[in-house]
Structure 1
C-alpha cells in the first residue's frame, strides 16, 4: 500500500538549512571550465541527429508516436552546444521558437503532434523543457559570444521565476507547468523537473534568492520522497499545503519509472552524489531479489516491470554508482546511441556523457 512521506522530523527550517549547506559546498567548488567537444561525443551526437532529428530542427520521440516535446528540444540544444555544432543548434532553436513558443511569454508549449489537425493543441508548458532551453541558450551565449542567445535565455529564466515558482506551505516549489498543477489542498510536483545542474546558470542570468530557495527546498522534498519497499522518488507527487506531507496522485501511475530515473542523473551531474535518494535508488537497481534491473517499480505494491531498463537508464545507474552483484549493470560506462531502442534511451545516454564531462 502507499506509504505517505511526512515532513522531516527536524522541521522545514532546519531541513532547509541542511540543504543550503549542501548546495553551498557545491557552489564553493571551482567552477567547471567548458571542455572541448570530444570526437566520441561529436560522433554520438551526429548519430543521434541521423536517427531522431529532422532537417527543420524537430526532435522526434520515436517511442511515443513521433511527437516532439520541449524537453527533447532543450536536450538537443545542450547536445549541439556540447558538440560545438552551431548550425545544428540554430536549426533546433529556430524550430523550437517558431513552433512551440507560447503567446504572451517566453515559455514553450510542451508537445507537438505532427499528425493532429492542431499540432500544438495544449499551450501549457513543461518546466524542465524550459529550464533546459534557457540553460543551453545561456551557455551558448557565453561560449560563442552571442548576446542574442544570452538575452533570450535570460528572458526564459525570468519567466520561469515569474510563472512557475509558488509558495506551498513552508516550501518554495517548482510547478511542472504554468497551469493544471495547483489543487485546493496541495500542489502536484514532478521531482525529475528539478534540473539541479542548470540552476547556477539561471541564477547568474537572473540574480534572485528565489533560485536558492527553490533548489534547497527541492533537495528537502527529495529527501522526503520515499515510497514503497525501496523508498523511491515517484514520477509525480502531491505536496499538501497544510502539513507538507507527500502522497501519490491518483491520475498518474504510482511509479518510479521513466520520469523519476532522471532524479539520480541530475543529482550526480550537479555534484550532489551524497544525497540519500541516490543511495535508495542504487539499492533498488542492485537488489539481488530482482532478476534484472527493472524499468520501473510500482510504489504501492512493490511490483516491478516484467522487462529490464533501457540502455539509457543503465547508463544513469552506472553514473550513480550502481553495480549489480553479478557485475556491472551494463558493459560500458556510457550507453551508445546506436544501441538505444528509441529516442528517450538515446537522449539519456547523451545526458550521461555530458554529466561525466
Structure 2
C-alpha cells in the first residue's frame, strides 16, 4: 500500500513537471516568435531620415514614403515593444522627432496634427499637406502608452498627447454629429464632413484620451460613433461593415463606390479590416456585439480572404495579414469562444514580415507586441 502510494506520488510529480515543461516551451516559443516579428519589422521598415529622426517606410517597389498612419502605428508598436524590453526610448524618440518635423500648418499656424504623407518624388521629398484622423489618433495614443513605459518622460509625452487630442477636436471633428471626420480637409462646407471611416471607431483610444484630457467630448464621440457602427453592423446578417459610411438625415449608410476614395468604399476592405482590432479591447456592449457578429461570420469561412462585400461575397481569392491579423487579435481576447480563429490565426507569423508589404507587416507587428493594450 505504501509502495503504491509512493508510485502514484511519483507519477503525479512527473505529470506536473512534464506539463510545466510543455507550458514553458509553448510560452517561450510564442515570445521568441513575437519578438522576432517585431525585430524583423523594425529592421525592414523603420528608416533613418536623419541622425535624430526615423520614419516607417510605407513605400512600394523600392520607393520611400512616410504617412501619419504608418508613423502612428510605428510609434505604438515601438512603445509596446519597449514595454516588453525589445525597444528603447531612443527608438521611440526618433520616430517622435520625425512626426514633430512634419506637422500640419493650417492658415499659417502650425498644428499638432501630422501631414498625412511625405514621399520621394524624383529624388525630392514632397509633402502632401492635410491630415488623416486615424494617424493622429494613433500618434496621440502611442504617446500616452509611451508615458507608462518610460515614466521619466511621462509629463512630456502626455502633454503632447493632450495637445494632439485638442487639435483633433479642433480640426477633425463634426460637432453636429459628434463624430470624427476623416481629416482636416473634411470641413463643414463639404460632403466629406458627413463621412465616417469605420476603423476610426476606437472606443479604447477614446476612453484613454477622455481620461487624459478630462474633455467630455471624447465620451460623446465614442458613444456617437459606436452607435453608428452598430447600426451599420445590423444592416446585413454578416455583420460586416464598410470602409466608409455616410451620415444622412435618415441615419447612416455604407458609402457608394468611389464616393470617398476607391471603388471599395462600401465594402469590408482595407480600412474596415482594422475594425475587429479597434473594438477588441473595449467592454462597451455595442463594441462586443459588433465584434461577435464579425467573428461569427469569419468563423464560418474556410479561409479568411482579402476583403468582402458587406453581404459576404469575397472580393479576392487570396489571403492577406491585413485581414487575418486583426481577426487573430480579436480572437485572443476570447480564445474559448473563438478557438478555431485563434488557432488558425496564428499562421500570420508563418511568413516573415520582411516578405510582406508595409500594411500587412505593420498590423502583424502590432499584434505581436500587444496591440492597443495599455497596461
- Please indicate, yes or no, whether the TM-score normalized by the shorter chain is above 0.5: yes
Q: How far apart are residue 286 of structure 1 and its match?
A: 2.9
Give TM-score scaled by structure 1 length.
Answer: 0.77
Q: In structure 1, which of residues 123, 126, 132 is the aligned counterpart of residue 129 of structure 2?
A: 123
Report if aligned partners of 2:201, 2:222 keep a CA contact under 8 Å in 1.
yes
CA distance in 1 between partners of 2:192 and 2:55 (Å)? 38
2:271 counterpart residue number: 259
Number of equivalenced pairs: 314
Cα deviation digits, residues 277-316 of structure 1 (max 9, x gap): 212322332334xx531111133x7541232332353232
Report if aligned partners of 2:325, 2:345 keep a CA contact under 8 Å in 1.
yes
Q: How far apart are residue 83 of structure 1 and its match?
A: 1.9
Report if aligned partners of 1:157, 1:205 keep a CA contact under 8 Å in 2.
no
Q: How does 1:297-308 map to 2 (within 5 A)?
A: 297-299=308-310, 302-308=312-318
Change (3 A) 1:302 1:206: same
The higher-RCO structure (CA 8 Å, 6+ apart) is 1
Q: How does 1:93-132 map to 2 (within 5 A)?
A: 93-102=96-105, 103-115=109-121, 119-132=125-138
2:144 counterpart residue number: 138
CA distance in 1 between partners of 2:283 and 2:350 (Å)? 21
Report if aligned partners of 1:336, 1:346 keep a CA contact under 8 Å in 2.
no
Cα deviation digits, residues 214-263 of structure 1 (max 9, x gap): 011111011011455623111011111x2323242342322101110111
Q: How far apart are residue 184 of structure 1 and its match?
A: 5.1
1:11 counterpart residue number: none
CA distance in 2 between partners of 1:285 and 1:176 (Å)? 27
Cα deviation digits, residues 312-347 of structure 1 (max 9, x gap): 532322233386979943344867754762211121
2:360 counterpart residue number: 345
Which one has the largest radius of gyration? 2
Alignment RMSD, CA only? 3.0
Cα deviation digits, residues 39-69 of structure 1 (max 9, x gap): 6654432211111111231111145854221
Report if aligned partners of 2:68, 2:132 keep a CA contact under 8 Å in 1.
yes
Change (3 A) 1:277 1:179: same
Q: In structure 1, which of residues 292, 296, 300 is the aligned counterpart of residue 307 of structure 2?
A: 296
2:67 counterpart residue number: 69
Cα deviation digits, residues 181-230 of structure 1 (max 9, x gap): 65459601101012222223312232111010101111101101145562
CA distance in 2 between partners of 1:121 and 1:356 (Å)? 29
Change (3 A) 1:205 1:72: same
Q: How far apart are residue 118 of structure 1 and its match?
A: 6.8
CA distance in 1 between partners of 2:192 and 2:282 (Å)? 32
2:181 counterpart residue number: 175
CA distance in 2 between partners of 1:205 and 1:324 (Å)? 35
Report if aligned partners of 1:68, 1:113 keep a CA contact under 8 Å in 2.
yes
Deviates more, 1:114-123 or 1:126-135: 114-123
Higher helix share: 2
2:48 counterpart residue number: 55
Report if aligned partners of 1:186, 1:238 keep a CA contact under 8 Å in 2.
no
Deviates more, 1:314-323 or 1:121-130: 314-323
Q: How far apart are residue 269 of structure 1 and its match?
A: 2.6
Give TM-score scaled by structure 2 length.
Answer: 0.74
CA distance in 2 between partners of 1:307 and 1:129 (Å)? 29
Change (3 A) 1:356 1:243: closer
Give unpaired runs (5+ residues) of structure 2. Answer: 1-30, 83-87, 332-336
CA distance in 2 between partners of 1:355 and 1:269 (Å)? 9
CA distance in 2 between partners of 1:132 and 1:335 (Å)? 27
